[in-house]
Amino acid sequence: MVDVASSPPPLGDVLTALAAEGPDLPAVTCADRTLTRRQLESRANRLARAYEALGVGQGDFVTVALPNGTEFFEACYAIWKLGAVPQPVSHRLPVPELSRIIGLADPSLVIGVPVDGRAWVPAGFEPDPGLDEAPPPSRTSPAWKAPTSGGSTGSPKLIVSGSTGRLDTAAIAARYHLRPGQVQLVPGPLYHNAPLLLSMVGTFLGQHVIVLPRFDARTALAEIGRHRVNVVNLVPTMMARMLRVLDAEPGSHDLRSLEVVWHMGAPCPQWLKRRWIGLLGAERLHEMYGATEAIALASIGGREWLARPGSVGRPVVGEIRVVGPDGEPVPPGDVGDVVMRRPAGSPPTYRYIGAQARTYEGGWESLGDMGWLDEDGYLYLADRDTDMLLVGGANVYPAEV
């Protein structure tokens, strides 16, 4: 394992070190294609030189509009090796919405889809085979990611991470119970923040990351058994579909290798969570509540949840409280606006491009969720106060349908 705890190296250098440490170990698999660490490193280095020749420089945004696959990881590592910032979007975005996001990001390169007036390369782009496979000079990205969202404002915006390309991987790994040597399944789209975060941190740790081209319940269950998957992150829609397959095909799927099952991205019905606890045991099921902005996070394990069904947990990062229209805290049990504040003395965790944060006095920020706290500080969610629908863990705005 590469030591990233004491002084985190640039993310591009992390891959170089992993490739030197275990060149033939699998890094990323999608369907029948697997890249070893050495192959991922070699391809990322050549892509970095190709992207640089197309105008990508340190600090630039690079829009990544690629479907799930090994190519997504190659592109992101190439971007980090140049000290640039990956800006992932859905490769299926309607042209008007993509145009708005491109206008906000002003990327030096778009990967995956053509955009008028912009340098771009198609999906499946192959750099000149004569390009050097050695690592380019070490550079640090000013932000390690800049995904898009509209969940807290109702219109697309960029959420530029406050963490640089020297990421504190050890802290994230501890929070999500990730460790080197695990096999991680990624069933969700990589342009969503949670799949992006967990999968990339998995590669930083040297895990073998298994990516589904698209979610299919039966395929997800088969891959868990085939690869002896240890970690998976789901949304409740996936959990319900997988449960239907398990009920219809008893004894056909082996989940014994699973150590950590996360769910987040949407409220989970209590009946569904109870079924999964019954399936795996309470110790293996975990829930995280937060947002791409990473101002604060709440978490709850399965056993803790059984004592407080419906809760999304207590803060594990930052502070969370519930306030009324005047911005003052409401009594326990009363519904109000869920507001967050980053840990005291810590730098900003994000910045918006294309939106203004919804703030209260004292450094508190709202992301649009409604909820209440119990007497012990456990959070329960009620509803969002923006005109937005959650569809399979994705934010959908009626005005854009």
Convert the pLDDT of each residue in 303-317 to its tens digit. 999 999 999 999 999
List, as own/partner pairs, every contact residues 356-363 make where C-beta atoms lie below 8 angstroms and the sequence separation is at least 24, other chains included.
Answer: 356/153, 358/152, 358/153, 360/323, 360/327, 361/327
Alpha-carbon Rg for the chain, nearest whole angstrom, is 21
3-state secondary structure of 205: helix
Contact between 104 and 158 under an 8 Å Cβ cutoff? The reply is yes
Q: 122: which 2 tokens? A: 């198609």
Contacts of residue 326, defined as CB under 8 A and 6 or more positions apart, other chains included, come to none
Specify the pairing of strand 208-211 against strand 364-373: unpaired
Per-residue pLDDT of the chain (401 residues; tens, 9 = 90+): 555 445 799 999 999 999 999 999 999 999 999 999 999 999 999 999 999 999 999 999 999 999 999 999 999 999 999 999 999 999 999 999 999 999 999 999 999 999 999 999 999 999 999 999 999 999 999 999 999 986 555 578 999 999 999 999 999 999 999 999 999 999 999 999 999 999 999 999 999 999 999 999 999 999 999 999 999 999 999 999 999 999 999 999 999 999 999 999 999 999 999 999 999 999 999 999 999 999 999 999 999 999 999 999 999 999 999 999 999 999 999 999 999 999 989 999 999 999 999 999 999 999 899 999 999 999 999 975 544 444 444 544 343 44
How high is the pLDDT of residue 278? Answer: 97
How high is the pLDDT of residue 7? Answer: 78
- How far is Cα 228 from Cα 230, in angstroms, rounded to an integer? 6
- How far is Cα 61 from Cα 65, in angstroms, rounded to an integer? 13
How high is the pLDDT of residue 157? Answer: 94
List, as own/partner pairs, every contact residues 390-395 make where C-beta atoms lie below 8 angstroms and the sequence separation is at least 24, other chains included.
Answer: 390/265, 390/266, 390/267, 392/235, 392/237, 392/238, 392/266, 393/188, 393/192, 393/235, 393/236, 393/237, 393/238, 393/265, 393/266, 394/189, 394/192, 395/149, 395/150, 395/151
Q: What are the φ and ψ backbone dihedral angles of 352, each rounded to 5 degrees?
A: -90, 145
3-state secondary structure of 260: strand
Q: Which CATH number fits domain 11-165: 3.10.20.310, 3.40.50.12780, 3.40.50.300, 3.40.50.970?
A: 3.40.50.12780
| Domain ranges (residues) in the chain | 11-165
- How far is Cα 294 from Cα 318, in angstroms, rounded to an integer? 9
How high is the pLDDT of residue 400? Answer: 40
In this structure, what is the dihedral angle of CA atoms 100, 103, 104, 106, given to the nearest 10 degrees? 150
3-state secondary structure of 398: helix
- How far is Cα 329 from Cα 371, in angstroms, rounded to an integer? 12
Give 275's Cβ-side CA count (13 Å radius).
Answer: 14
Distance (Å) of CA 46 to CA 50, 136, 340 = 6, 9, 42
Q: What is the pTM of this model?
A: 0.92
Q: 238: which 2 tokens? A: 């996936």
How high is the pLDDT of residue 44? Answer: 99
